[in-house]
Every structure is written in C-alpha cells, then in structure tokens.
Structure 1
C-alpha cells in the first residue's frame, strides 16, 4: 500500500492536468452537437464534463500550491519537479477559460457571470502565486509569461461572453433609444397662441404610414410566386433578420416596418428555404446564449484570438528552445513532466487552431465579409460552409417527441420499481424514457404549417387581425370548415382540456377508420397524429411551454379512468385498436360531467363524444378538419409560450414549437408587433382673413 500510495502521489497532479485537457477536447468537439441532438446520454455526458472541467482545474491549482516536501523525497529533486509542474498553472487557467463551443450549459449559467468574474480574479491570483513560489528560472519564466497571457485572455473571454448572454445585458443591448415622440406641449402652445391672436387656425394630421396599408400590402404579396433563391441569400437574410428578431427572446416589441420587410422576404421564399432561414437564426441565437460567439465575432474578439494563438505558439517555442540551451543541465527535469508539458502545449495549440478554423467557417464570418463587400473572401468562406455545414443538414434536431395516452395507459403497469421511483420522485423521468419517442418532423407537416400561416396572412383585413389570429386555438379553423356549431364546444374549454379531448378523439378516429390507408387520406392522418402526440408530450413533459392550467391533473385523472375502464373485465385489451373500440362502444348521449360531477377532471368520454361527431363526417373531410385544428392549436401554443422557455430549449436539440413561433413572427402573426403606425405629422394651417 505504501508503494501504491507513493505512485499515486507522484502521478496525481499529472493525471489531473491530463484529465483537464481531455475534458476540454471533449467539450470542443461535442458541445456544439447538442443544438441538433436530443440524446439524453449526450446531454448527461456534456453536463458532467462541463462541471468536472472547472472543478478539476481549480482542484489542480490548489494542489500545485502545496510545496511541502514529501517524506523520502530528495528536496532538490522535488524542487526541480515542482518548478516544471508550476508551469502547468497557466494551462489550467487556459482550461478554465473553456472552449468556444460552450460557455454556459444552460441559460441560467449566464446569470452567474459575476461569480465567474470573482473566480477569474481569485484563480489568476492563485496561479501567479503557484508559479512565483516555485522560484522559476529564465527557462521557465519566459514561456510562462506568454501562457499567462493566453490563459487570462481566454478566461476573460468566457466571463465576458457569459455577461453578454445574460438576459439583463441582452435586453439593455437590444432595447431601442427612448422615443418621446413629437413635442406635443410645444405644438399645443403654438396652437393656443395663434388662436388667442384671433387668427383662424386648423390642425391637419398626416400619418407617416398606416398599419392598414401594411396589411393590404401583405395580403397582396401572398399572390407573389414563390421562388428558390441561392443559399448565399438565405444565409444573408437569416443574418440580417437575426439582428431584429433576436429581440423576441427578451420580450421586446417590433414595428410594422419590420413586419413588412420580413413578410416581403418570407412570402417569396419556398417553404423549405423559409424554414432554413429560421433554423440559421435559431442556431445563431444558440451561439449567442451558449458559446463565445458574442465575443469572438467582434473586431476585438478576432484580435484577441490572434493574440492567444501567437502567445501560445511563442510559449511552446521558448519552452523547448530555452530548455535545450541549458547545455548539460537540460536533462535535470523529469522526462515524464517534460513530455506532459509538451502534450499540454500541443493540445492548447491544436484546440486553438481548431477554434480559429471554426470561427472562420461560420455564418457570422460570412455575413460580416458580405456586409463589407469582400466578395472573394465571402465566396471562399461560403464554399467552406457548404462543405462543413451543408445546406441539406438541419441546423436543429428536426425531431418532435411523441406521447400517446391510450398506449401509455395500456403499458404503464404498477410494479415494485415504479413504486420505488414514485417515492424517489423519479417516476416522471422513467415515464419519459419508457413511453416517449421521437420522430422526424415530416416535410408534409412543415408545408401544412407554412401554408396555413400564409393563408391567415392573406386573410388580414386590419392590423388588429394579426393579434386575433394568434389567439385562435381551433375556432377559426372550425368556422372556416363550417363545423363550429357542432364541434366548437371542444375548443372553447380550457386549452389543456382541448388538447386531451382532441388527442383522444384523433386516436379513436384513427383506430376506427378503415380509410386511413387511402392514399388521399393517409397524409392527413400522418400529420394529424404526429401533431396530436406532440401536443400531448408538451402537456405532460413540457407544461411550462403551454398555458396548460391544470393539464397534468386532467391528464392523470383521464389516465386513471381509462385504466379502470380497460381493466373492468379483469384483463386489459390487447392493443390500442381494441381499446378504442371499447371506448366508442359506450353510449355518450348525456354529458359525462352531468353524471359524474366535477371532482374528477377526466375527459375520456367527452373525447368519445367528440370522436363520434367526427366519425359522422366523410373520411377525407374529417381528417382535414382534425389537421387544421391541430395546426391552429400548435400555433396558439407557440405564440403563448414565454420567450425564455423557447430560449431554454435551444440547447436540447430545439423544439418544433420554437420553430413555429419564429415562423409566425416572420409572417407577421402575433402580439409582438406593437408599433402599428409611425409618428404623425401635425401641421398648423393659418387661414387668411
């Protein structure tokens, strides 16, 4: 044990610094993947690496500050070992500075930038203390100074990036200059003086531009033919709109001029390219919130990146040159420590060069070069972007979660494990892993959402209609299809109740309809079921993204009634189809609430009534109605979700709800446009007698 302990004591600090470097490599290569990946395993690994990277680096710095000579170790040998190991202190500062791909694991980490600033000051002080206490010679001092420059700059970059991405700083950086408007008091004073002078005066108001004209322009523009534009224009449009629409994430308002410009662009784009613009914008927002993009893509950020690369290269060169110039004493340092130091230098240089390459091959750099009219360089960057970030690859996960209430009730059996998990408060995580799956967001679904929003834009009659459309959650769809009288009750209840009603009804119709395999009906069925299962997932697993009220209580009561109903014969039905048949076999002429009362919030048999009404319609018409209702519910949920929750989901692969929210904003639908007209120009017209 003594010999093992001695080996561990000798290798402990070496393992710590190498582990710290390995964690930085892992974070650099894998942190950026999570914006287009929903894997819980990857998220867990990144979370552990993010936390361990700082903890190990800080612990290693504390370990290096110990200078007590261990028993049985020659003091001169220990002094030489500590001298070269003290050079690792600035490398640990470099690691604490993190990688360009991740500064904050979640958006809440950005709010802790003051804590990171304090950590920066304390860890820099500790690193300087560790190095000076080792009494370095000239061969260690020169490379250490350059490495300290790199380490301090990188750590400062991270702290500054966290500050820039904090919500308060984002808001203060995007808010417009306070606008007092025309001088009303001065104008009225001139009017009074003129009137008191006995002159005939008239006030004429000329509006800068009316919102109604904007609405008419948008309605006319819907008839413009869609066209495929070059991918360079798509990236340029995304970069240009990002500067404007990122304000939505901090609840700032937009003007009618911005609505007009955005509509003019999106109404001429194909659906595929419209979604591509949205994807790039959301990718840029992710970079702003979770990486160093807000710092490194500035003139001073690029200058600092050149400084750190040059400083690290110089330090590496000096270390190896000066060490060999010691002549016969060049072997006085431990060979293992020398190798580890060179590994740290090599790792730092490789990470730095890779980070510079990523910075160059980015949408940020392309947009900056294009705005400066540097065509040759921008074309070169674009070709690189096409190679590393091809147009066909989605910039987010392009997945939507699926949860089905009937399948859940059939498969969720009480066991000892589930009881233990319930006691530990982990039952929800278990259910998510076991009963929730992900499917690709189909091209047909995207087209349907885009077309429905475009049709709404074409129906605008005044500026107020833009806001009204975002408040519809099935009413407008049923009125347009002519079924509001029969089915309107199902969308006038609370939103969470509407979701469960239509989810169960959609499932009952699917399992009872023999025409779902019809080539004309199948696309409607597929899109409707995908949105139905997705909305239930949001209700159960992401309730904070919905104005869901008591949605989880209603879901639990409905599941409880379904289990009791399915198990009343002693055995559960074999599959979802048989379950649907059992539910539809119940007579529902009288409203369930009139029979059961209001204590239980279950809506199982209310959904049965809705399904029976839908089954009376012809198959194709039935599924068209179901589809448009779900599209409207999806858009309603997207517009009502708070912006910080949209921002929160960017680091988890993104949500379809966020994509729809941004698409609605670009098409002018929503409540964020609060400036419906410009300043009025009031004139005093004095009439001559």
Structure 2
C-alpha cells in the first residue's frame, strides 16, 4: 500500500506541475506571436519565418493540451478537502485564459492563406472548447470563491476566440469574394428603351468618362506627405480589393487611379503601393477586418474591461487557501492577459488604419480638424524610421529584399561531386544550394524609377491588351534609345517566355562581366535579370502561367555549361570571354533539334548582337527586363501574389498592383457609353 500511495502522490504532483507548465508555455507563445508575427511581412529571412510558423502551430496544440490536463487534474485535488477545493477553483479560473490564448493575438490569425479556409474547423473547436471550459467551471460551481473573475475572463476569452474564427471566415476565398460582389444590376429597361426608340428613332449616349467623379488626393507633381500617402492607399485599397479574387472593374476606377499615379514620382507611387499592400495583408492574415469596425471596437472594449475587472476582483480576494506558487502563476496569467490586451490596443491605435480613417473623416462636417491633425502627426512621428521608439524593421511595409539567382554562379561555384551525392542522399541538396547560391539585393530608388516610368510610358498609350501581351517586343520596338532592334526581336517573339527569360539572363551576364560601363542601367539590368531567374527556378508557382518548361530548359542549359566548363575552372570574366569566343555562325537549334532544350549558345548569339549597341545596350536591356517582369506580374494568379505578403513581400507583387492602378490589367472592362436620355 505504501508504494501505491507514493506512486499516486507522484502522479498527482506531476499532473499539477504539468498543468502549470502547459498554461505558462501557452502564455509565452502568445507573447512571442504578438511581437514577432508582424515582422514576417517585412522580413524574408527563412529562419524567422520558420520560428513564427512553429510558434503558430504549437500555440493551439499547447492550449488544447492544457485544456485536457485541467479536465483530468480537476478531480485529483490535493492532500486535504480545503486544498482540493482551492485547487479546483484555480483550475476553473485558469481554463478561460486558454480561450484567450486560443483567440490568438490580433497580429496573426492565419499563417498562410490556406489557413483561412479552415475556419469551419476553428468554429467546431470553438464550440468544443467553450463546452470544455463551461464543464470545468460547472465542477466548481457554486462553491467557488473565484466565480466572478472566472466569469469575467470567460467573457473576454469567448470574445477573442470568436474574433479569430470570424476573421478566418471573412478572409476565406468564397466569403471574401462574396463580400465584394456588387449589387445585382438589371441595367436599363430594355422594353421601354426599345419602345421609345421605335417611336423616336433617336437616343443620346453619354460617355462614361463624363460621368466620372475624380478622386485625386494631391495636385499633380506635389510630393505626398505620409498622411496623404496612407489616406490614398486606403482609398485605393477599398476600391481594388477585388483584384485578389479576379473581379472585373469598370472605367471610372482605372481612370481615377491612372489620373492619380500619372502625376506622382516613382518614390511616392511605390509608397502608396506599399501601404496599400499592407492593408491587403491585414485583412487576409490578421483580425483587422473584425476589430476595425464599430462592433469590433465595442467588443474589444468589453474584452479589455473583462480582463482588467478580473484582475481587480482577484486582487481584493482573500487568497489564504491558495498556495503562494499558484497565486504567482495566476497573477502572471492576469498580467500577461492585460499586457497582451494593452499591446493589441496600442497597435490598434498606432496603425495605418487609424491614420487613414481620421484623415478621410477630416472632410466630414462636424469633425475636429485640429485634434485629428495633431493626433495623426503624433502617430506618424512615432512610426517614422527616425523615431527612437521603433526600429526600421518594425516600420517597413515590406522586406525590400530582391532575391538573386545567377546561372554562372551555379556553374562556377559548384559543390564537389562527393558532396553533391551526399546532399542528394539526405534530400538536402536544394536547401544547401539556396544557402550557397542565393543572394539578396536591396530595393533601390533607381530601380523603382526605372520600373515606374516604363510602366507609366506604356499606360499613357491606353493600349492595354497589347501592352499586357507584350514580353519584350514592345520595348524593342519603342526603345527610348531610338535604336533599330529588329535583329533582337526573334529572341522575344520566336521563343516562349521561359526560353526568352533564360536567353536574356545569360546574355545580360555575358555583357555585364565583359563591360565596365558606368551606365546606371547596367546594375539595374543585372538585378532584374538575377531576380527573374530566381522567380523561375526557386518560385515556379509564381511563374507557372508563363514559364512553361523553364526549369527543364535551365537544367539542360546547366548540363551543356558543365560540359563546356569541365576541363578548367574559370572566373566569371574568363568564363564569359570563353563563351563569347565560340563561333556561332551555325544555328544551335539545327545541331540540337528537340533532343536538348539548352539555350546556352543561343544566348551567346544574343549577347554578341547586344554588344553591337555598345553602351546603349544597357538602356535596351533594362527596358526589356522591365517588360519581362511586368508580363510575369500581370499573368501571375492574384492568389500567388497574396501568398507572398506573409513572406516579406515580392517586387513582382508591387509591380502587379502598380500595373493594375495604371490600368495595365486585363481585369478592367471599359465601357464607353450608356443610354441616358432620348431626343426628339
């Protein structure tokens, strides 16, 4: 019997410490997520994303596990009846805190877009955990000394969990798309129009453009201040949310956005686009859509008030029946809950949403313009990069990282054969290849200017279908360098997009390493070239609609380069010079036929043609690369762009949204007229 009692006591102690450990771990994960989760939209570092992903997955599991432990431990009690009752009361009080934790912080509801589609699972889990928490509470009712604080925390936890479930529901594809569908519109009354036309034989048409009310937040050419940039970003976010779900827009939306962006500088245009994507991120991955409305504010006030009241109620309570250690844990949970609510409240106030809504309401009658302006100035100063209260990584709206992947690097810096085989056996070759060959360039204003002015030049022509379908042809035919580029056209017109991208990438590399030009476009062409190859090889999902067999062609090209560089190791310059020295009078396609998809020596031919333009070749190449980037951006599925928002963002996503704002998108259906009146 003695041994049995010892084992029972040991099991009892283990259960107690296990419950405490699980609850404190759950709280720690919530603290981690509320501070680090927002960083993922501004940081593309793989290890940070893995940490956030791990915490996101483990947080729910730990909370559910703790619920199970509490249900079991509630019957274990302590060594005396009074101790058992006190411990049972604490267990009933701790259970609602797990509802708070399952509700999660405001900064993350979904780690990936696919998580939003699991809202039904979270709804079922909500009902189950509410039942479990209610059962635990029922076991201690009505004798519990902690009934009041338990009920208060239960209210706050229920609200938080409902907020999360509703946020997932609103961000799910079907619901998000359904919420953006316009009201049903039967159009003009056709029978009436037909009868009147039969009588009068005349009708008057009013072009839609004349009916358009233009929204322009600043005079053309003026530099946008931070408040105006955020306000305009919010306006266009509300206008173009449907881009994410393939909705079609009319003439007035594109006319308005084009009118606004055509007079902006590249820096201001990208500032607006960055802020707009930040709003997209918030509605898809956070609780923004739920809490940033009158009902959301009300329930958030109730939630905060419940937790604070629970703390006050527990503080004045006579706690002589409880262990000191349990009292400390309870205070930790209460202070942790209050701290999480306070941080969430500060983020709610100090956000772009608050600035945008206050700025937008300044034109409404009866609003206090002075108070609103002062508050906005305070928020902008607090959020500025020069503020001592925040770091750049906490204020940036995307990572500004442009990933690079280079063909020659993969050939001249290869692993030894035995290491390649070892990595292949343990399925880690791709991972270590990314570490060895992957590079990151930071987004520069010069690159932004090149992209913006090229897109704006195309948008001014109002030939949307032609521009969207062009992948280098238009750039070569309308190059600003006013050069005859007819001999370059076959390298974009007579090949598919994937081969064209690889041809221009290798040609850019050959020219870059054999030319010391100081032309600004030399560097930007190189950055765009390596970035586009990275998208095709390392993010094929984003290029699947345009790249075709790009990866197969890349491997065949690498195989041919292996054979060419087999005997001697060259540096980049020597390798390029050796490639350019190969006679290319014979078309490589005649030699290879369909056996190999290699584009190595076709690229050498292209490079030789480009070198004939001397320094102007960099202007030509930069324009072609912008068009190749734009083609990939506009033909990538919006779903794929939305996925990248939670991984630090991508330049191609910014270009996609900018093109849409300039009207360079197939999602605009322009109607030129509508029957409005009849004339006798």
The TM-score with structure 2 as length reference comes to: 0.91
Which residue number in structure 1 is paired with residue 584 of structure 2? 588
Q: Distance in 1 between matches of 2:477 and 2:360?
A: 47
1:131 aligns with 2:133: no
Q: Is 1:615 matched with 2:611?
A: yes
Q: Matches of 1:278 and 1:110 in 2, distance apart?
A: 24
Q: Cα gap change, 1:160/1:587 in structure 2, threshold over 3 Å: closer, same or farther?
A: same
**Could you tell me how far 1:138 is from its partner in structure 2?**
4.7
Q: Give yes or no for contact 2:30–2:105 (8 Å, CA) kept in 1.
A: yes
Aligned counterpart, 1:653 = 648
1:169 equivalenced with 2:166 (yes/no)? no
* Counterpart residue number, 2:489: 488
- Say if 2:266 and 2:448, in contact at 8 Å, map to a contact too: yes
Partner of 1:390: 384
Aligned to 1:677: 672
Deviation at 1:415, TM superposition (A): 4.3
User: How big is each residue's C-alpha offset from its partner over 1:241-278, in whole Å with a ceiling of 9 and x where there is no partner?
Assistant: 11011211111111111112112211222221111110
Match of 1:470 in 2: 468
**CA offset digits 1:187-235 (Å, max 9, x no partner):** 224445x4xxxxxx42334133369x99xx99xx9xx962213322111
Between the aligned partners of 1:23 and 1:487, the Cα distance in structure 2 is 57
- The answer as to 2:373 corresponding to 1:379 is yes
Which consecutive residues of structure 2, in runs of 5 or more, have no partner in the other structure?
A: 1-5, 387-394
Alignment match, 1:535: 532
* C-alpha distance 203-402 of structure 1, shift in aligned 2 (>3 A): same
Q: Contact (CA 8 Å) 1:234, 1:273: kept in 2 or not? A: yes
The aligned counterpart of 1:82 is 88
Equivalent residue of 2:669, what SS?
Answer: strand
> Could you tell me how far apart the structure 2 residues matched to 1:191 and 1:227 are?
49
CA displacement 1:583-614 (0-9 Å, x = unmatched): 11111111111012212111000001000111
Q: 1:450-469 alignment to 2 at 5 Å?
A: 450-460=452-462, 465-469=463-467
User: How do 1:299-338 residues align onto structure 2 when only pairs under 5 Å count?
Assistant: 299-321=294-316, 323-324=317-318, 330-338=319-327
Within-5 A mapping of 1:538-553? 538-546=535-543, 547-553=546-552
The structure 2 residue matched to 1:239, chosen from 200, 211, 234, is 234
For residue 679 of structure 1, give the secondary structure of its aligned residue in structure 2. strand
The 8 Å contact of residues 203 and 677 in structure 2, kept in 1 or not, is answered as: yes
The one-character-per-residue Cα deviations of 1:12-49 (angstroms, maximum 9, x if unpaired) are 11111111001000100010111110011110010110
Instruction: Kindly report structure 1 stretches of 4+ aligned residues shifted beyond 6 Å.
Output: 1-6
Tell me, what secondary structure is at the counterpart of 1:65? helix
**1:501 corresponding residue in structure 2:** 503
Q: 2:31 aligns with which of 25, 50, 64?
A: 25
Higher mean C-alpha deviation, range 259-268 or range 146-155 = 259-268
1:345 alignment partner in structure 2: 334
Give the secondary-structure state (helix, strand or coil) at the position aligned to 1:333: coil
Over 3 Å counting, the alpha-carbon distance change for 1:22 and 1:70 in structure 2 is same
Report the counterpart of residue 251 of structure 2 in structure 1.
Answer: 256
Whether contact under 8 Å (2:203, 2:675) holds in the other structure is: no
Counterparts of 2:182 and 2:429, CA distance in 1: 46
Question: C-alpha displacement at 1:176, in angstroms?
Answer: 1.1
Given the superposition, is the C-alpha separation of residues 425 and 250 from structure 1 closer, same or farther in structure 2, using an over 3 Å criterion?
farther
> Does the CA-based 8 Å contact 2:204-2:679 persist in structure 1?
no
The question of whether the paired residues in 1 share the 8 Å contact of 2:227 and 2:355 is answered with no
Contact 2:77 2:87 in 1 (8 A): no
Report what 2:392 is aligned to: none
Q: Secondary structure in 2 aligned to 1:644?
A: helix
1:318-363 CA-to-partner distances (Å, cap 9, x unmatched) read: 1121x22xxxxx3211111111001100000011011111101112
Cα separation, 2, equivalents of 1:678 and 1:45: 54
Q: 2:595 aligns with which of 596, 599, 602?
A: 599
Name 1:97's counterpart in structure 2: 103
The equivalent of 1:197 in structure 2 is: none
Aligned equivalent of 1:432, options 431, 434, 448: 434
| Residues matched between the structures, number | 652
Question: Which string of whole-angstrom CA distances, capped at 9 and with x for unpartnered residues, describes residues 152-196 of structure 1?
Answer: 00000000111111111111111111222212233224445x4xx
Q: CA deviation at 1:10?
A: 3.2
Change (3 A) 1:130 1:419: farther
Any gaps of 5 or more consecutive residues in structure 1? 195-200, 325-329
Question: In the alignment, which residue of structure 1 is the partner of 2:512?
Answer: 510
Alpha-carbon shift at residue 420 of structure 1 (Å): 4.7
Greater displacement, 492-501 / 466-475: 466-475
User: 1:270 matched to which residue of 2?
Assistant: 265
- The Cα offsets for residues 520-573 of structure 1, whole Å up to 9 and x where unpaired, read as x1x111100000000000000111212110111111111111111100x2x332
Gap change, CA 1:131 and 1:453, over 3 Å in 2: same
Q: What is the SS of the residue equivalent to 2:320?
A: coil
For residues 452 and 535 of structure 1, the distance between their equivalents in structure 2, rounded to whole angstroms, comes to 17
Question: For the residues of structure 1 that align with 2:396 and 2:313, how far apart are their CA atoms?
Answer: 45
By how many angstroms is 1:678 displaced? 4.2
Which string of whole-angstrom CA distances, capped at 9 and with x for unpartnered residues, describes residues 396-452 of structure 1? 111110000111112232545543543555433332232111110111000011111
